[in-house]
Amino acid sequence: MSAIPISVENLRAGYGGDDILNGITFDVRPGEVFTIIGPNGSGKSSLIKVLAGIVPVREGRISLFGRDVTHLKTAQRIAAGLAYVPQEFNVFRNMTVGENLRLATEFIGLRGGVAQSERDRVLGMFPDVAGRLGVQAGTLSGGQRQMLAFACALISAPDVLLLDEPSAGLSPRLAGEIFEAVQTVNAQGTTVILVEQNVAAALPVSDRVLVLVNGAVRRLAPATDLKARDDLAQLFLGEA
């Protein structure tokens, strides 16, 4: 088995007759927080949806630990060690916190004591959610819903966690809590691929950063290199 969690080779994908992603190639290293940034319309969310199996690939290859998953469905990728938290509609708002977690365990086939053990494990990471098991998810704050979505995704103990804009619409305080959760999950051995518009908040928790512009890779560099730049806007607009 390859040690590379995610490998993407010459990827092309899009909607309708147009390609949004144009020949993208990169590898994600074991145990890192790999962040994808770029201007609006650059294809960031499309890319993470392709990795999750939601948007089909037209050309190229996606490998998960050396296994070709290019044409596997989302459920099959989850079974292979992937988890995905979308930006929106990431919890069932008409169900309680506990019911959302139970559904997550049932989806991956866990029952009885094993399911309870896994639920307790993830709730230990998110105490703010753990104290609200009987609360309807739709009444939670935006940050709490994101924490619940994290918890549901982590029930499967994924090797790779995909996060699409986890801080979108949150206050700076709640966004900070979200990024603390990202660091906690990563410290426990999960490789994280993060799409994020809040560049200033994302860079400090990232190991490497891919800059996506017009569906193509503009730059792939250590986060420390990009933090040292004061011209990210120019990078987005066309500087190599």
Query: Is residue 205 in a domain?
Result: yes
Please name the amino acid found at residue 91: V
Query: Is residue 119 in a domain?
Result: no
Query: Is residue 41 in a domain?
Result: yes
Burial classification of residue 59, based on how many CB atoms lie within 10 Å of its CB (0-12 exposed, 13-18 middle, 19 or more buried):
middle
Q: Over pLDDT 90: what percentage of the chain?
A: 57
- C-alpha count within 13 angstroms, C-beta hemisphere, residue 226: 29
CATH of the domain at 12: 3.40.50.300
Residue with tokens 């800059």: 211
pTM as predicted: 0.89
Query: Is residue 9 in a domain?
Result: yes
Burial classification of residue 195, based on how many CB atoms lie within 10 Å of its CB (0-12 exposed, 13-18 middle, 19 or more buried):
buried
Q: Which residues contact 136 (CB under 8 A, 6 or more apart)?
A: 93, 94, 95, 96
Q: Is the pLDDT of residue 240 over 80?
A: no
Q: What is the pLDDT of residues 164-195, one digit of tens each?
A: 999 888 888 888 888 988 999 999 999 999 99
Query: Is residue 175 in a domain?
Result: no
Q: Is the pLDDT of residue 11 over 80?
A: yes
Asked if 168 and 197 count as a contact pair (C-beta separation under 8 A), the reply is yes
Q: Is the pLDDT of residue 71 over 90?
A: yes
* Bridge-based pairing state of the strands 216-222 and 208-213: antiparallel
Number of domains the chain is built from: 1
Structural domain harbouring 228: 1-81+195-240
The helix/strand/coil state of 77 is helix
Dihedral over Cα of 67, 87, 221, 181: its sign: negative
Secondary structure letter of residue 136 according to DSSP: B
- Name the least confident of 78-82, 88-92, 108-112, 122-126: 108-112
Query: Is residue 179 in a domain?
Result: no
Q: Over pLDDT 70: what percentage of the chain?
A: 92
Query: Is residue 144 in a domain?
Result: no
The total of other beta-carbon atoms located within 10 Å of residue 85's CB is 23
| Residue-level pLDDT at 235 | 66
Query: Is residue 170 in a domain?
Result: no
Q: What is the pLDDT of residues 107-163, one digit of tens each?
A: 777 667 666 788 888 888 888 888 999 999 999 988 889 889 988 998 888 999 999
Residue 154: C-alpha distances to residues 60, 69, 105, 167, 229 (Å): 28, 20, 10, 18, 34
Dihedral over Cα of 103, 193, 126, 88: its sign: negative
Could you give the CA distance from residue 69 to residue 215 in angstroms, rounded to a whole number? 21
| Residue-level pLDDT at 237 | 53
Q: Which residues contact 194 (CB under 8 A, 6 or more apart)?
A: 33, 34, 35, 36, 163, 166, 182, 202, 205, 206
